[in-house]
Structure 1
Amino acid sequence: MLAGAGVVPAQPAPAASSGIYSCVDARGRTLTSDRPIADCSDREQRELSPSGSVRRKIEPTYTARELAEREDRERQAQLQAARLIEERRRERALLIRYPNATAHDRERAEALVQIDAVINAAKKRLGELAEERKKIDDELEFYKKDVSKAPDSLRRKLDDNGKSVAVQNRFIGDQEDEKRRVNARFDEERGRLKPLWAGNAPATTAR
């Protein structure tokens, strides 16, 4: 027959080979299956090709709570990593600014000298106010039996003098607090810098 001459009957296409799933369960057993393994839903599974190579990895299936906890752990780890990076950056900047103890001591001394200069100026002003007060007291001596009879201008001088003294004393107290803050900052920096200086020190060759 001409119709069928040389014609090869059609063959069905071979079925696509499915993957093989493998994992190690909670009891340490290696499990395999032709589909995702339910007993390993909480852990990573591998999908293998027929040749045995890893086709893909399947992440564990998490509950909403587990997923939230995992995301929180990842977020905390990222924050910690960012803090460490920032801390290292600050340490490098600190080491550049203070390459040795001498440089650090010098800047501390300069900062304290500036504060002391301000305190000394305030103390000098207190001395001037004390002199003014002495003159006011001398003028008030005439009215010591009844200060209310002193002129308003003289009583205003007395009041202004007292307020100025209080202002200068508060200012000096604030500057003393600033000295303590400066010293505390330099002490804290010194503690951080000591190991950095030690690690940055050039090696010496023993003779």
Structure 2
Amino acid sequence: MRRSALALALWVCVPAWAQTPGKGAVFCCMDNGHQICGDVLPMQCYGKGYREMSPQGTVRRMVEPPLTPEQFARREAEERARKAEIERQRAEMRRNQSLLETYSSVADIDARRDRAVASVDVDLKQAEARQAQLLKKRESLNREAEFYQKRTMPAALQNALRESDSELSNQGSVIAAKKKEIEAIRKRFELDRVRYIALTTPRGSLPVQP
């Protein structure tokens, strides 16, 4: 009774396609160095790789053994990497399509770059002009402060010097940020320029790099 119950339990665990073999199918696997075959999947083959063959001995299909935890984890990692690569390629295709829809020519890219740089350059020149004004004001404060090298400096002059330091520091940060923004614009448009040329130049016509 116990053997029948065990056999029934194992049979339920077998996939449906193994329980209902094709007409005349023979299942074979290796068990402790011996080949075991049957017209249904032998119990010794459960949890192992096996072959499904025709009565004439032709292999219809090979069924791989269940994966070990390590193999399963490796396969999962490979599948994640494969999907990530597919998504990367799709994203690249979207970027390329967007690039081609954004620009009509290399000259168009250069013109847009120049306009973007010019817009920020206006702010940069204004910031530099303001910095020049602050430097002149600071020179005037420094000359006034020279009279107090050997005596106490008035509180108003001390405050003016501190405010001058703060303003000059802030204005220096603004100028540095604008210069950095211009550099980023040039780099971005240069990348677009290179990609656009690569996408629009026929293969084989690009110059060979030495």
Scaled by the length of structure 2, what TM-score is found? Answer: 0.65
State yes or no: 1:129 paired with 2:145.
no
Corresponding residue number in structure 2 for 1:183: 186
Corresponding residue pairs, total: 168
Cα distance, 1:84 vs structure 2: 0.6
Q: How does 1:113-152 map to 2 (within 5 A)?
A: 113-141=118-146, 143-146=147-150, 148-152=151-155
* CA distance 1:95–1:17, shift in 2 (3 Å): closer
3-state DSSP of counterpart to 2:104: coil
Cα distance, 1:144 vs structure 2: 4.3
State yes or no: 1:195 paired with 2:195.
no
Q: 1:68-96 deviations in whole A, cap 9, x for unaligned?
A: 32232222111111111111011101111
Equivalents in 2 of 1:103, 1:19: separation in Å? Answer: 68
3-state DSSP of counterpart to 1:168: helix
Scaled by the length of structure 1, what TM-score is found? Answer: 0.66
Residue pair 1:20, 1:34 contacting (<8 A) in 2 also = yes
Equivalents in 2 of 1:89, 1:109: separation in Å? Answer: 25
Corresponding residue number in structure 1 for 2:167: 164
Q: How does 1:21-170 map to 2 (within 5 A)?
A: 34=39, 45=51, 59-64=63-68, 65-141=70-146, 143-146=147-150, 148-170=151-173
* CA distance 1:106–1:42, shift in 2 (3 Å): farther
Residue pair 2:49, 2:66 contacting (<8 A) in 1 also = yes
3-state DSSP of counterpart to 1:149: coil
Equivalents in 2 of 1:77, 1:46: separation in Å? Answer: 30
Q: 1:149-174 deviations in whole A, cap 9, x for unaligned?
A: 33211221122112211211122122
* CA distance 1:115–1:47, shift in 2 (3 Å): farther
Unmatched tracts of structure 1, length 5 or more? 1-15, 23-31, 201-207
Residue type matched to 1:168 in 2? Q
* CA distance 1:42–1:69, shift in 2 (3 Å): farther
Corresponding residue number in structure 2 for 1:29: none
Residue pair 2:25, 2:52 contacting (<8 A) in 1 also = no
* CA distance 1:185–1:47, shift in 2 (3 Å): farther
Q: 1:75-130 deviations in whole A, cap 9, x for unaligned?
A: 21111111111110111011111232112112211221122112111111112112
Larger Rg: 1
Q: Taking every aligned residue pair, what percent have the same amino acid on both sides?
A: 20
